Structure 1
């Protein structure tokens, strides 16, 4: 079933990306969602397309999307779709290329299939829980970075503030991308050694990318070192740290030092 679900969401992600591109750099209508940031007419068009397509194919699956009102019905679903129609909406609105469609299937609290597609770059990342992580169909692996020295970390400047690091602020090379899903995939691809967000992370932003990073060999946890779980009543993780195993251990030792 994960393979069939992966084929379904992979095709769906590509189609959704083409819808998003119709609005990209075309000044789509936009407004603010209280507490959740901006949304555009493109987000809603992509979401409507995916809801119709995916639930027609899997009518017994639950549904959790950033652009739909949440329902407790998903909590009793055996499997569910967890998605962000456009992850990195601010980048999308600015005409940048690094926005993504993020789709996952979750079963028993775990992501079992994931697809992240960047339509402006035609970059497709996929994984099933029992298979390899792929970039445009080719297997990928995370880096072998053994520790902090020389590490390349995707995170915000605020996340490296001293109050977060009782064991000492790590000296590393920092960069950033707007899309959480894409950050996780860049770790999976080995283009960056790790990514970190200390802020609560919505499941729709991280479910697909976290599976892809894990299947590429990265260690993925919340900010406390606990394995991620999905389809929670309040669908947020307490931050995310995804990194090459040696780097993950080194960063955790500084985050949790007494």
Structure 2
């Protein structure tokens, strides 16, 4: 689970860009919020993408705005987002913006507050800026590489859990059940506090960074835009997103999708991975 050491000048550049990125994300949220109605259906027009997942006019408006503004902030960066046709030029680009304009679209359109805007800037495949903003929650998570993680300006830290018993866990029930089955094969029967599913994957990971959840299980088929920004926030808070072999999530590959993952404090990664492996 080696951590990549980024050059000091890369970290310094990320820190210098953060204030403008932060303001841009807040402005993007102002475009989306008029379409959101807590506890009620969105005011936005809704249609289905290929594959059946929903998209709203708010997704498109936020995506368009962010592409213009973020490209002005760091013009060298290529672009990858959920709502934009993928351009393979990004694969050979040193810098890449990765954006989910509305992570948790189904929550947004149904009036559930757990949706977010997720932004990351990558340098040579590594996140150096990460933002996850939940406008309906008033929760602004951010991090820069080497600069720590914060929520609404206050430092955050992942939990110090070292064993599965007593942890707060979220994620798909089949994966949670697999974890318990594996733990039992290793001679343990952990008592878990199961947290209701969080529609935005980026928020799920950010809450682990905040320390209010200990372990997040992530089913296969998540995408770079769901994870990259939140992953950096978790790294800077003392955790990681990794696959079931313990390898950190990798970004800006030709196919930007992931297999099964966990997100956890570093102290909890090995116990969680051991249980999942034992389950077979």
TM-score range, shorter chain: over 0.9
| Structure having the higher Rg | 2
Is the 2:94–2:125 Cα contact (8 Å) retained in structure 1?
no
Residue aligned with 2:206, SS: helix
The offset of 1:209, in angstroms, is 0.3
Residue of structure 2 equivalent to 1:188: 209
Question: What residue is the counterpart of 1:14 in the other structure?
Answer: 26
* Aligned pair partner of 1:50 in 66, 71, 75: 66
Deviation at 1:201, TM superposition (A): 1.3
Q: Secondary structure at the match of 2:254?
A: coil
Query: Taking structure 1 as reference, are residues 212 and 11 closer, same or farther at Cα in structure 2, changes over 3 Å only?
Result: same
**36 and 78 in structure 1: CA distance in 2 versus 1, 3 angstrom threshold:** farther
TM-score of the aligned structures, taking structure 1 as reference length: 0.94
Q: Distance in 2 between matches of 1:166 and 1:157?
A: 14
Deviations 1:62-118 (A, max 9, x none): 000000000101111110100100001011011111110000001111111111111
Unaligned runs of 5+ in 1: none
Give the superposition deviation at 1:35: 2.6
Q: Residues 255 and 126 from structure 1, CA distance in 2 versus in 1: closer, same or farther, beyond 3 angstroms? A: same
- Structure 2: 5+ residue stretches without partners: 1-12
Q: Distance in 2 between matches of 1:145 and 1:247?
A: 6
Equivalent-residue separation in structure 2 for 1:255 and 1:200 (angstroms)? 18
Count of residues in Structure 1 that have an aligned counterpart in Structure 2: 258
Structure 2 counterpart SS, 1:256: helix
The 3 A distance-change label for structure 1 pair 235 and 165 is farther
Deviation for aligned residue 1:218: 1.2
Distance in 2, matches of 1:124 and 1:163, equals 31
For the residue of structure 2 that corresponds to 1:39, the secondary structure is strand
CA RMSD of aligned residues (A): 1.8
Give the direction of change, closer, same or farther, for the CA distance of 1:170–1:204 in structure 2 (3 Å limit): farther
- Where in structure 2 are the equivalents of 1:107-118 lying within 5 Å? 107-118=123-134
TM-score with structure 2 setting the length: 0.87
